[in-house]
Amino acid sequence: MANVFRPRADLWLRQIAAFAVLASVGGTAALYYYGPPEYTRVGYAPLQPTAFSHELHAGQIGMSCLYCHSNVEESPHAMVPPTATCLNCHNQVRANSPLLAEIREAGKTGRAVAWERVHKTPDYVYFNHSVHVKRGVGCVSCHGKVNEMPIIRHDQPLSMGWCLECHRNPEFALRPPSEATNLDWSPPVGQTQVEVGLHIKQQLAVNPPQTCAGCHR
């Protein structure tokens, strides 16, 4: 009976084994790098039905977030503004712009504009905007520099680890609640973020939940 394995089989075996080791190391590394929301979500910037620009409205024109997201201080949901809010200005400003055709159409027919959702926590997570904004967590901590984004982009991972990182040490993010919508706020000269944060944490008795039932209720 001839040899089942040729002399080269030994080499093949070694090469396959080496490749398997490399591939599993590489695959694990890739999974760690590409698996978490830091990769999957951050940078998500869907095309919206209307070319609405935060960079223009919140940046150049300097509108407060609350003009449009007016619920954010009172409600769990920041909410995307109704068409009527756009028409406050756009019944006059750029009233014939083709870029606003969708908005005018929606205003006339009462149909909703199908904005593409960017940020979404899973349905088993309880998230509440008003608690955060009223306690001095700025929009910028969770949404990034929205006033510099022509198209809204997912800026933070919104993963559980990320939520908890802040809930353990909120002083790295806290600011006076009146500055929550001011994305360019920085601590007053001579004070560090941690000093300001610790002061506010004490003053408002900020105590974010770290127990499971705080966010999974």
Partner 1 sequence: MRNVVLLFVVAALLTAAALGVRGRVSENRPLMLVPDMDFQPRVDAQSESEFFADGRSMRTPPAGTVPFGGGDYASDAGAPTPNADMLAGDESYYQGKKNGKFVENFPLALDIALIERGRERFNIYCAVCHGGAGMGNGITTKRGLVGVPNYHDERLRKLPVGEIYSAITNGKGQMASYAAQVAPRDRWAIVAYVRALQRSGHAALGDVPVAFRGELEKTKTDDVKPAPAAKAAPDTKKSASEKNP
Q: Please list every residue from 178 through 207 that binds ligand HEC, using CB under 6 A.
A: 180-181, 183, 206-207
Task: Find all residues with CB under 8 Å of 215, minimum gap 6, and list them.
Answer: 125, 126, 127, 160, 163, 209
Q: How far is the CB of 19 from ligand HEC (least distance, A)?
A: 31
Residue with tokens 């609405």: 52
Binding string to ligand HEC for residues 118 to 157, with x set by CB under 6 A, is what?
A: xxxxx--xxxxx-xxx-x-x-x-xxx--xx----x-----
Q: Which two tokens stand for residue 131?
A: 């608690």
- Cβ-contact 175, 135 below 8 angstroms: no
By CB under 8 A, the residues from 66 to 95 that bind partner 1 are 66-67, 70-71, 74-77, 79-80, 82, 84-85, 87-89, 91-94
Partner interacting with residue 74 (select from partner 1, ligand HEC, none; CB below 5-8 Å by kind) = partner 1
Cα(179)–Cα(119) distance, rounded to whole angstroms? 22
Partner interacting with residue 142 (select from partner 1, ligand HEC, none; CB below 5-8 Å by kind) = ligand HEC
- Cβ-contact 210, 168 below 8 angstroms: yes
Partner interacting with residue 28 (select from partner 1, ligand HEC, none; CB below 5-8 Å by kind) = none
- Cβ-contact 78, 72 below 8 angstroms: yes
Per DSSP, 204 falls in state T
Phi/psi of residue 107, nearest 5 degrees: -65, -35
Which residues of the shown chain bind partner 1 in the complex (CB under 8 A)?
14-15, 18-19, 22-23, 26, 30, 33-35, 37-47, 61-64, 66-67, 70-71, 74-77, 79-80, 82, 84-85, 87-89, 91-94, 110-112, 114, 122-124, 128, 130-131, 153-154, 178
